[in-house]
Amino acid sequence: MNKNTGMTLTEKILARASGKAAVSPGETVWVDVDVLLTHDVCGPPAIGIFKKEFGKNAAVWDREKLVIIPDHYIFTKDVYANRNIDILRDFASEQRLPYYYDVGTENYKGVCHVAMPELGFTRPGEVLFGTDSHTCTAGAFGQFATGIGNTDAAFIMGTGKLWVKVPETMKFIFEGEIPPWIMAKDLILQIIGDIGVDGATYRAMEFAGDGVMAMDMEGRMTLTNMVIEAGGKNGVVEPDQTTFDYLAGKTDKKYEPVFNSTDARYHSVRRYKSKDLQPMVAKPHSPDNKATVTEVRGTKLTRAYIGSCTGGKISDFEAAARIIKGNPLRLDTYVVPATTQVRQQLREVTFEGETLWDIFEQAGCHMGEASCAACLGGPSDTFGRLNHEEICISTTNRNFPGRMGSKKSQVYLASPYTVAASAVSGTIADPRDYLPVAVG
Amino acid sequence: MKPKPISGKAFVLGDDIDTDQIIPAQHLVYSLEDPEERRFYGRYALSGVPDVQSGLPLGGVPFTRPDAFESEFTIIVAGKNFGCGSSREHAPFALQQAGIQAVIAPGYARIFYRNAIDGGFVIPFECFEDLSGLVKTGDELEIDRELSLLHHKPGGKKYPLRPLGDVADIVEAGGIFEYARKHKMF
Ligand code: SF4
C-alpha cells in the first residue's frame, strides 16, 4: 500500500470507494457501499420507500451486503413496535436475506453496533452506512462508517450507491499509558466537553497515540461510538494487529485496510497527556456538559444503568463487576447486555472466582435481555425506562431531555467504573475509592 | 423556474434541539406511509421540547394544539446545531407533517440536514447570525429563495441566508430520488 499520497485514512477509503485516485475534503463523491445496516425502527420505513421507488417486487442491489439487526423495541407489548419486526421478517424472507437476525430465534443478536463486529461486518477499508447515528462505532476498525436516514438507505437498497461529502479529519492523540481507573468513556466525554456537541460537525474524528492503540477493540469502539455526540460524521482508529486479531475467524471476506499517509493533512490535532485524565461525567441534559467526578461527587441519584452500544459490552461489565462485587448497592441498578453474546459471556466470565452474572444478581441488580432497552426510552413498558422524575447515572451515550424516558428525569453519563462506584455509594462517586488496587 | 417564496408564522427554539425533542422515541412506531397514522407525526412533532423552551422568547407555546395534527407555524427559527442526536428521518418528516416548510438556524447536525434534503421534507437554511434571539414566536416571516433572504416583517428587516450550494439541485428536484431520476442514475 502506498502510504504517501497525502490523504487521511478516511479520505483514502472514500477515494477507493468512488473509484478515484485521490479525493480532498469538501468534495462530493458517489461511493459504492460495502455494507448497509438497518434495524427495527428505521428498517420498515426504508423498506417502504424502497418499494415505492423501485417497485413492489424489486430486489435489493446485493443481498450479501444488507444486514438487518432488530434491537430497539424488542421486548414490548406495543403493537406498532411489533409490527415493525413483522415487516423486517417478511422483507428478509421475500428477499432471501442471509443476514437477518430475527427476534425470538437463536439468531437474535441485540444491539446492532455491538453485533456488527461480533459478526465480522466491520472490515477495515470498507464503507458502511447504517440507519442509526451510532453506526460510526464501526470506525474503530478502520472502516468508514456513518449514519444515514431512511430515504438514503432506500436509495442504497436499490442502487448500492450514495453521495457523500469528504470530511476533514480532526485528530485526537493520547500520549502515554492510560491510568487504570480511566476508561475510554472518560476520554470521549473529555473530548466532547472540550469541543462541544457540534464541535466536529461534518468532520471525521480520528483517535490515535499509544494510549489509544493500547486499548482493546471494545475500548476503541466506545470512542468512535460517541463521535456523533460531537456532531462528527465518522470516527476512526487506524487498524493494527489488535484489529486484525479481533476479526480473525469472524469474517471470510478479504479486506484491504488503509492507513494514514505520513503527509496526511488534518483539520486540527489535539494532544492529551493520558496521565492527566480524570474520571468524567456529562451532566444533564447534554453530552458536552462536562464535569470531573471530583466536581460533582456526592450528587444525589436514584438509579444506575449499565448497558447500550457504548456501555453494554463485556469489558464494560467486567469493569463494573470489579467495583460491585461484595458491595451492597444503594441505587436501583439495571444491567442490560448489548447482545445475546454479551449476555452469555456474563455467565462465563469470572472475577475473583464468581461469574459476572452472579456478582450482579447477588448485588440485587435488575438483569435485562439484550437490546437497546431504556437507552432511548422507548415504549412505556421498556425495561429500565425512566418513567418518572429519576436521576440516573448511566453508561449510555445521550442525556438529552427525555432521552431515557420522562422529560422530568435527569441523566448523568459516565464510565462503567464511575456508574458502578455510584451505584455502591448512592451518590456520584469516584471509582478510585472503590477499585481494589487504587493508585494515586 | 423561480422557486416560490415561503411565508408564514415563526416558531422559535433554542440551541441543540435534538431529534428526541423533535419527535420522542416512543412515537417512532407509527407507519410513515399510512395516511391516517402518519398524521400522528404531525401531532407529536416537537412534543419533546421542555415547556419553558417551547416557542421562545416566552416559552410555554404548544407547537401543535392538543388534538390537532398540524401546527399553525410554517417556519422554525432555531439556535445552533439543530437536529442533533439520532439519525431518525422521522424528525424532518414530523416537521413536514406538522406543516413546517423551512427551518432557519446557524447550523445543523449533518444527518438531520441530509435527511431533510434527500427526503425533500423541509428546507434547512443556514443563517449567518443567530436569529433565535431576534425573531419572536408568532412573527410573520417570508423567505425569498431566489435571493436567499429572510424578511422579518414585524422588524421590517431582511437577513441574508447562506445559498444552498451543492445541494440546491436536490432541493429543487424535491429529493434524492427525483434528483437521481432527472440525472438518469437508474
Ligand atoms: S443502545 Fe442506545 S445508542 Fe445504541 S443503538 Fe441502541 S438506542 Fe442507539
pLDDT of residue A49: 97
Assigned domain for B1 exists? no
pLDDT of residue A308: 98
> Quick check: B26 and A377 CB within 8 A?
yes
Between A and B, how many residue pairs show a Cβ–Cβ distance under 8 A? Answer: 130
Of the candidates B122, B113, B127, B119, the one whose C-alpha atom is nearest the C-alpha of residue B162 is: B127
- Could you tell me if the CB of A111 is within 6 A of ligand 1? yes
- Tens of pLDDT, residues A26-83: 998 999 999 999 999 999 999 999 999 999 999 999 999 999 999 999 999 999 999 9
Exposure b/e, A364-392, CB count within 10 A at least 16 = b: ebeebebbbbbbbbbbeebbbbbbeebbb
> Is the pLDDT reported for residue A376 higher than 90?
yes
Rounded to whole angstroms, the maximal C-alpha distance in chain B is: 50
Amino acid at A412: Y
> Is the pLDDT reported for residue A137 higher than 90?
yes
Torsion, CA A146, CA A148, CA A154, CA A159, rounded to 10: -40
> Is the pLDDT reported for residue A2 higher than 60?
no
Taking the mean position of all CA atoms in its chain, how far away is CA A398?
11
Q: Which domain holds residue B136?
A: 6-182
Q: Quote the minimal CA–CA distance from B128 to chain A in Å.
A: 16
What are chain A's domains? 9-251+264-271 (3.30.499.10), 282-433 (3.30.499.10)
Assigned domain for B93 exists? yes
Contact A342, A370 (CB under 8 A): yes
Provide the 3-class DSSP secondary structure of residue B123. Answer: strand
Task: Give the ipTM of the model, two decimals please.
Answer: 0.90
Assigned domain for B82 exists? yes
CATH number for the domain harbouring residue B80: 3.20.19.10
- Tens of pLDDT, residues A213-271: 999 999 999 999 999 999 999 999 999 999 999 999 999 999 999 999 999 999 999 99
> Quick check: B32 and A376 CB within 8 A?
no
Give A112 Cα–ligand 1 centroid separation in angstroms. Answer: 8
> Is the pLDDT reported for residue A1 higher than 90?
no
Exposure b/e, A85-121, CB count within 10 A at least 16 = b: bebbbebbeebebebbbbbeeeebbbbbbbbbbbbbb
- Average pLDDT value over all residues in chain A: 96
| Arithmetic mean of pLDDT, A311-335 | 97
Secondary structure string (H, E, C) spanning A307-362 = EHHHHCCHHHHHHHHHHHCCCCCCCEEEEECCEHHHHHHHHHCEECCEEHHHHHHH
Residues of chain B with pLDDT under 50: none
> Is the pLDDT reported for residue A201 higher than 50?
yes
> Is the pLDDT reported for residue A439 higher than 80?
no
- Could you tell me if the CB of A8 is within 6 A of ligand 1? no
Contact A157, A66 (CB under 8 A): yes
> Quick check: A398 and B26 CB within 8 A?
no
Interstrand relation of A350-351 and A354-355 (parallel, antiparallel or unpaired): antiparallel
Q: Quote the minimal CA–CA distance from B89 to chain A in Å.
A: 5
Residue B128 phi, psi (nearest 5): -90, -30
> Quick check: B110 and A231 CB within 8 A?
yes
Chain A interface test: which of B111, B112, B113, B178 (most A C-beta within 10 Å): B111
A376 contacts in chain B (CB < 8 Å): 20, 25, 86
pLDDT of residue A42: 94
DSSP A257-299: -----TT---SEEEEEEGGG---EEE-TT-TT-EEEHHHHTT-
Looking at the structure of chain B, the number of domains it has is 1
Is B119 touching A (CB cutoff 8 A)? yes
The partner residue sitting opposite A198, judged by closest CB among B20, B81, B115, is B81
pLDDT of residue A4: 47
- Tens of pLDDT, residues A77-107: 999 999 999 999 999 999 999 999 999 999 9
> Is the pLDDT reported for residue A356 higher than 60?
yes
Interstrand relation of A169-175 and A204-208 (parallel, antiparallel or unpaired): parallel
Is A159 touching B (CB cutoff 8 A)? yes
> Quick check: A201 and B119 CB within 8 A?
no
Counting beta carbons within 10 angstroms of the beta carbon of residue B3, is it exposed (0 to 12), middle (13 to 18) or buried (19 or more)? middle
Cell of A143: 472502516
> Is the pLDDT reported for residue A3 higher than 90?
no
Could you tell me which residues come within 8 angstroms of residue A78 by beta carbon, excluding any fewer than 6 positions away? A379, A381, B29
Give B4 Cα–ligand 1 centroid separation in angstroms. Answer: 40
Give B93 Cα–ligand 1 centroid separation in angstroms. Answer: 21
Secondary structure string (H, E, C) spanning A406-417 = CCCCEEEEECHH
Q: Which of residues 218-277 of A touch B (CB under 8 A)?
A: 228, 231, 233
> Quick check: B81 and A376 CB within 8 A?
no
H-run or E-run covering B88: none
pLDDT band at A438 (very low <50, low <70, confident <90, very high): low
- Tens of pLDDT, residues A403-425: 999 999 999 999 999 999 999 99
Query: Facing residues of A271 across strands?
Result: A173
Is A131 touching B (CB cutoff 8 A)? yes
Measured CA to CA, the distance from residue A158 to residue A154 in angstroms comes to: 6
pLDDT band at A437 (very low <50, low <70, confident <90, very high): low
Measured CA to CA, the distance from residue A294 to residue A214 in angstroms comes to: 26
> Is the pLDDT reported for residue A440 higher than 60?
no
B87 contacts in chain A (CB < 8 Å): 42, 130-133, 135, 147-149
Could you tell me which residues come within 8 angstroms of residue A114 by beta carbon, excluding any fewer than 6 positions away? A137, A221, A309, A312, A313, A338, A339, A342
Q: How far is CA A402 from CA A281, A308, A322, in A?
A: 18, 16, 31
> Is the pLDDT reported for residue A141 higher than 50?
yes
